[in-house]
Amino acid sequence: MKGIPGSLHRSQKMTSQQEHDIVDALSKFLLDTMMFANPPQIPERFAAVESLQALHAYLLTLRDFLNAASNGDLSRQVSCKGYLAGTLKTLQANLRHITWQTKMIAAGDFSHRIEFMGEFSRSFNAMVTQLDQTLKELVRKETKLSQANDELLNEISVRKQTEAALLDREETLRRLAIMDSLTGLYNRGHFNKTADAEISRAIRYALPLSVIMFDIDFFKRINDTFGHTAGDMVLQMVANTTKQMVRANDLAARYGGEEFVILLPETQMKEAVAVAERLRKRIEDTVVEKDETPIRVTASFGVSDYRGGEDVKSREKSLSEFVNNADQALYVSKNAGRNRVTVYEQEVPLQ
């Protein structure tokens, strides 16, 4: 203390009352510095006392630091030294370290634990442990859910594959039920069924409907001469040629043995005869090669058109008559020397 301005001088001896008054004034000033939101300036009478200036500055620094910290600002530097400032710096260091640890935890590192803040540490650590366990449990459940989802998707996939295989098999069976396996043409059963439907349609809409029946000439002789494999090749050649010659809505079928039939919806007799003639010519011109041996075949044709009545009874017998008529015409072709087309004429089959 360099000196106290005012009425007292060093040489003068202070009375107890005067000393009391000075200490009281200083205590009041220091208390006010700590108590009030707006701290007082050093009273003029003590302004020159350097230790009081240092103490005042120290208190102001601590005030500022505490005020900032209470508002969440932990960045404020405490420039002064000593136990009190050091203790506050330790608190600041702890809180800043907790802040950093919290950031790490938020980033997913749950290994952090606090060990220097008493009950707060225990509560914080319990929270982190709980959070870690909860997240792990969530991840476990999510993984389980994901696995279940994968299994479900797999099950769906397997079921779809099975369903597709079943549909494929069903389609194969359906095709096998209606197709002739050797020639790839429809079989007789399917022809009869479809022909029935076409006759109904022809009656309902008054549409023309024709049928061609044909039979490979001397087929037994081919089998006997060249073998059954050659016979099968001839049947396949005739079937393939037929497929190429008919329209998409025509129905070509193997009727039995070496006999074939073609149903031609919305086709007049005259057009059906033209189809039969072109097919006959194409078969005649096609050569089957068996072991480098050329095999030539011909076929005999019969053509008829639908002539049934509109009543149910006549419709029932119309299909058999319809085909029989073409068959009769076919036999006329056979008897007349084969490799020709014969048109069925009502009552009197003509060559």
Indicate which residues carry an active-site annotation.
Answer: 258
Query: Which of residues 48 and 74 has its CB atom nearest to other proteins in the complex?
Result: 74
Contacts of residue 69, Cβ cutoff 8 Å, sequence gap at least 6: 76, 88, 91, 92, 95
**What 8-state DSSP symbol labels residue 338?**
S
Mark the segment that binds other proteins (CB under 8 A) among 101-109, 212-220, 258-266, 308-316: 101-109
Mark the segment that binds other proteins (CB under 8 A) among 93-101, 118-126, 169-177, 322-330: 93-101
User: Which residue in the set 13, 71, 83, 348 belongs to the binding site for other proteins (CB under 8 A)?
Assistant: 83
CB 291 within 8 A of CB 330: no
Distance CA 348, CA 350 (A): 6
Contacts of residue 344, Cβ cutoff 8 Å, sequence gap at least 6: 302, 303, 304, 325, 326, 328, 329, 350
85 binds other proteins (CB under 8 A): yes
Please, what is the minimum distance in Å from the beta carbon of residue 122 to other proteins?
A: 18
Cα–Cα nearest to 42, from 51, 80, 21: 51
Mark the segment that binds other proteins (CB under 8 A) among 94-102, 167-175, 261-269, 307-315: 94-102
Distance CA 298, CA 238 (A): 10
Please, what is the minimum distance in Å from the beta carbon of residue 41 to other proteins?
A: 27
93 binds other proteins (CB under 8 A): yes
Taking residues 230 to 259 in sequence order and writing x for each that binds other proteins by CB under 8 A, - otherwise, the string is: ------------------------------
**Number of other residues whose CB lies within 10 A of the CB of residue 303:** 29
Distance CA 74, CA 99 (A): 10
Residue 307's φ and ψ, nearest 5 degrees, are -135, 25
96 binds other proteins (CB under 8 A): yes
Q: Element (H or E) spanning 9, and its range? A: none
Please, what is the minimum distance in Å from the beta carbon of residue 110 to other proteins?
A: 11
Mark the segment that binds other proteins (CB under 8 A) among 28-36, 103-111, 239-247, 254-262: 103-111
What amino acid occupies position 244? Q
User: Which residue in the set 100, 201, 284, 309 belongs to the binding site for other proteins (CB under 8 A)?
Assistant: 100
97 binds other proteins (CB under 8 A): yes
Please, what is the minimum distance in Å from the beta carbon of residue 84 to other proteins?
A: 8
For helices 83-106 and 50-70, the axis angle rounded to 10 degrees is 20
Query: Which of residues 36 and 83 has its CB atom nearest to other proteins in the complex?
Result: 83
Chain positions contacting other proteins, by CB under 8 A:
81-83, 85-87, 89-90, 93-94, 96-97, 99-101, 104, 109, 111, 116
